[in-house]
Copies of this chain bind each other. A is one copy, B any other.
């Protein structure tokens, strides 16, 4: 396919389509990442929910499942982030996306090992810092995204053009993208690629529990709620746990009380174990636009066809 021959994101990563699967806790293992890469996109293994040994095994597995480029997403706030970085280097991973921390922390080290580095941000001010830190690309994610979110609360529609105006490195749009028209709109706003989360979490190859995938399909656009907004915002599908969290938060509960209530394994309980009542079903507002659980291959084919139709002037 030649329609993305001049696309800077495709050139940077050596991929066919400028479509990246987000690093989603408990959903994006080697199986999903390899499927995305085999379909012409860039699959990311999400290290956020993996202990070092598991990440090591998943990288090795992904290398078996695909000979196309793939990458690893590493949230720098995680307690294993340093080990994750070492494991990527040791295994010869070619692409690393970092998030939730300073882009200065590991970029130079990764680049010394010939690794292409992208970093995820919620504002143009931080996008500038990503470029200054020597990263090769920046992912700008709006507040509609699932999971952890910037405190700025900037929506994709305002964030993206501000980032496009600020940096010269390729900019990848995240937060709210789930189909061809939203990908086309992101390109109109200056993106050269898209990172898609929730839509990939609800594909057949995602390791999320079937109950989670069903909850995404059943959701409407108002289902994905944001909470913990004063500290580190999280967006998940409404359930008893989330509504109770919001109630506590709005009545002035301390961060200690809130974190105690949340506990340590809420997201695993929700996304991986399928407890839709008490678990944390991290997902974006786009859940309301997602109506099926396709294979990655079918989804990416449809995505590119619809994108080309929406964005005929490429």
Contacts and interface: CB of A to CB of B under 8 A. Distances in A.
A299 to B, nearest CB: 16
A161 B142 contact: no
A124 B285 CA distance: 13
Contact of A189 (B165, B181, B225, B226): B181
Interface string A219-255: 0111001100010000000000000000001111000
Interface residues of A, number: 47
A142 B162 contact: no
A142 B154 CA distance: 12
Contact of A185 (B162, B188, B220, B252): B188
Contact of A158 (B158, B176, B188, B313): B176
Interface in A169-183: 175-176, 179, 181-182
A55 B43 CA distance: 57
Give 3 nearest A-B pairs by CB, closest first. Answer: A252-B252, A157-B176, A155-B155
Interface of A: 123-125, 142-144, 152-159, 161-162, 165, 175-176, 179, 181-182, 184-186, 188-190, 220-222, 225-226, 230, 249-252, 284-286, 288-289, 310-313
